[in-house]
Amino acid sequence: MANIIDARGRSCPEPVIMTKNQIDSSPNISLEVLVDTHVAVENITRFATGKGYNVNVEENNRDFKLIIKK
């Protein structure tokens, strides 16, 4: 089961910090991050891949779901 972070409506770097905190506390759990800007998608993807995670992005209208797995 994946943990879900809803970071929609939040400005960077807050979505990245929320993602980092979750990864730090549960590094082997799958994570879903919901965001609503391309900047957040790019920043979270860069952060997570730099930590060795795989990131898949699903777009739904104006929202994005990032699925982050080890």
Active-site residue, selected from the candidate residues 3, 12, 32, 51: 12
Whether 25 sits among the annotated catalytic residues: the reply is: no
Instruction: Give the H or E element holding residue 48.
Output: helix 38-50
Q: How many C-beta neighbours within 10 Å does residue 19 have?
A: 26
Query: Is residue 67 a contact partner of residue 39, using CB atoms and an 8 Å limit?
Result: no
Which residues participate in catalysis according to the annotation?
A: 12
